[in-house]
Each structure stands twice: as structure tokens, then as C-alpha cells.
Amino acid sequence: MFRTWRQRVTFSDIMVWIIGLAIGVVVVWGTISTIQSGKYSAESWFDLIVKGLALGGVYALIAMGYTLVYGILRMINFAHSEVFMSGPVTAVFLANALAASGFLNKQPLLSILAIALLSMLVSMTVAILVERIAYRPLRNAPRLVPLITAIGASFFLQYTFRGFYGSGFQAYPTIDALAGSWKIGTVQLYKTQAVVIMAAIVLMFLLYAIVMWSKLGKAMRAVSEDREAAALMGIDADKIIVFTFALGGAAAGIGGILYILLFPIAHFYMGFIPGLKAFTAAVLGGIGNVPGAFLGSMVLGLIESLGPNLFLDGLGIPNASQLKDALAFIILVFILIFRPSGILGERTAQTKA
């Protein structure tokens, strides 16, 4: 049966297109006028791109937790931002002890590995406990129930860690080996940012390999496709769910230390904004999709870092870079309107979810 285009296109479709077009025009216009103004040199663009990729790398590691858990439970684990926070707020004590003993700057690589390992273990443990205590008893409850529990767990964790460590800011010691930058031609490459980007890429590849090629990773994909059929293979879904939370928690814990390399201050509230951004990145890439989480994170990191200067500045908005968080969340709203399945997500994911 054929319908005329008038019947197929609804009023809201037209509104959405008009809004989309308007945003496109504003972005292009802003970009052109920024570039014409010549306010930023090639070097400063390079800086912003590297910064964006480093941020994106951290988001990617956090986003893995959202995406893996969503894949298997069809649920957004809003406590994941606190899973992320729990690692670095704990590992700061080890970092300071290592710095006080002088070991940190004598053996920087070993020290960072030890700090990252501790952070990973703490985040992983918190993730496993959240699953066990908050979500497992509600496995068969209506979908809204675990969502509310997730928000409750998130607050619970924030205030628990505030109780443990106080509400103050804990500064991480600086690592001499990572201070400063390398000069490549006319551009500067900050050592921390370079390390974060490389580590994030290696770790994301490792996670991808685990999900695609390890036995548990395959079982995880089987359970997320069809839990009852997976049970017919003898796969214990509960075990696989624990593994999923552990993997996502471990990634977030290491991500926490990479985040600290960029912003060396830990506090009980530090998970909120990066968590929300990583969630945005996961949705942007197509939630439930591992390469999507990586792609979405890098795109978000770049938009956040380049966007304010690239298209907001050109529109004459003062201090545009202060709007970077707002920009990230505006993007979340727009993906949810235009393409809720994300960049790599299939359209059918909507009906399945």
C-alpha cells in the first residue's frame, strides 16, 4: 500500500528536520566565521584535538561499563559513575604514600601500574557489590525499578565514600616523568595526554578482544542476545552478569587513573560529570555496541574540546569553552531526538529494548 508523502510525514518530523537544519546552519556558520577570524593557530587546533582525544579515551573506558551492562540487562547502570569514582578516590592514598617514600619518582612506571591496579580492583569490587546487592534481587522486577535503585545506589556510594574519605579534595602527587611536553616541529604534545591516549587505545582494544574472542566474552554476547537460549547451552547467566559488571568496573577503575593524569584531583563527587559524559558517549555510539562506545567517546571528546572554540566562538559567544559541559549534554538531547540508536546502533535496537 502506498501512501502519499503528506500522509507519511508527520508534523513532528518536519519540526525535527527544521531544528536539525537550523543547528547545522549555526554550526557551519560559527565554524566558518571562527576560521576566518584566524584567532586560533594551527598549533592551538592541534592542542585541542589531542586534548579531545585524551578525554575521549577516558570516556571510552567508562562508557564500556554502561554499554556492556546495557547489552546484557537492558538497563542503564546509573551507579557506574560512582564505580568510576571509587577507584581513584581510594588509590590517591597509595599515590601519596608512594610519593612520600620517594618511590613514585624513582619508579614512575611501576608506581602508576600499582596505582592503576588498586583503582581497578576497587572499582571492580564496587561494581560487583552493586550488582549483587542492588540489582540481582530485582532481576525480574519491572524495568523502572532497577533504574530507580541505580540512582539510589549512586547516592549511597557517593555518601559512603564521603564518609570514608571526607568531603575534601585530595590532590594526586605530580609525576616528574610525565610533566611537561614533547616538541614535535612547531606543536607541543603534553606527555600526560599522549600517555592517556595510548593507554586508552590499548585498553579498548584489549576489552574488544575479550568481548569478541574470549570464551567468557562470547558467552556474554550469547546471554545478551538470548538469555534462555544461552541457558540451554549450560551458560549460567548470573555468573556472566557478574563478569560483565567486573569487566566494566575494571575498565572504569583504570579509566579513573587516566582521568587523574589529566585532572589530578580526587573527591567523592568526581564521578558525576565524567559518568554522565561517558553515558552520553555510549548513547552517541549506539548503546550496547563496543566499537560504538569507543567511537562515540572519541567524537564526544573532540566535540567537547573543539566545539566551543570552533563553532560557539565564531558566533560571538564570550568564554565559549565554559560551555563545554552544556554542549555535551545538548548533544545527548539531540541524539535522543534524532537518532536514539546512536551512530553504530541498529535501528531495531529501539524495538528490542
The minimum distance between CB 75 and other proteins, in angstroms, equals 19
Smallest distance from the beta carbon of 174 to other proteins, in angstroms?
46
Position of cell 612547531? 186
- Structure-derived torsion over alpha carbons of residues 263, 269, 274, 277, reported in degrees to the nearest 10: -150
Comparison of 4 and 140: residue with beta carbon closer to other proteins: 140
d(CA 124, CA 253): 7
Q: Using CA atoms, how far apart are residues 37 and 59, in angstroms rounded to an integer?
A: 32
Q: Which three cell numbers stand for residue 54?
A: 585524551
Q: Give the integer Cα–Cα distance in Å for 120 and 124.
A: 6
Would you count residue 183 as binding other proteins (CB under 8 A)? no
Shortest distance, CB of residue 237 to other proteins, whole angstroms?
8
Q: How far is the CB of 238 from other proteins (least distance, A)?
A: 9
225 near other proteins (CB under 8 A): yes
3-class DSSP state for residue 252?
helix
How many residues interact with other proteins (rule CB under 8 A)?
Answer: 17
HEC assignment per residue over 119-170: HHHHHHHHHHHHHHHHHHHHCCCCCHHHHHHHHHHHHHHHHHHHHHHCCCCE
CB of 239 to other proteins, least distance (A): 9
Comparison of 14 and 229: residue with beta carbon closer to other proteins: 229
- Binding track over 194-223 against other proteins, x by CB under 8 A: ---------------------x--xx-xx-
Indicate the residue among 132 and 218 with the shorter CB distance to other proteins.
218
* Distance, CA of 303 to CA of 22 (rounded, Å): 18
Question: What are the beta bridge partners of residue 183?
Answer: 188
Q: To the nearest whole angstrom, how small is the minimum distance from the Cβ of residue 228 to other proteins?
A: 6
Interaction with other proteins in 227-266: which residues (CB under 8 A)?
Answer: 228-237
* Residue list 33-92, contact with other proteins (CB under 8 A): none
- If the CB atoms of residues 234 and 316 are measured against other proteins, the closer one turns out to be 234
The contact set with other proteins (CB under 8 A) reads 215, 218-219, 221-222, 225-226, 228-237
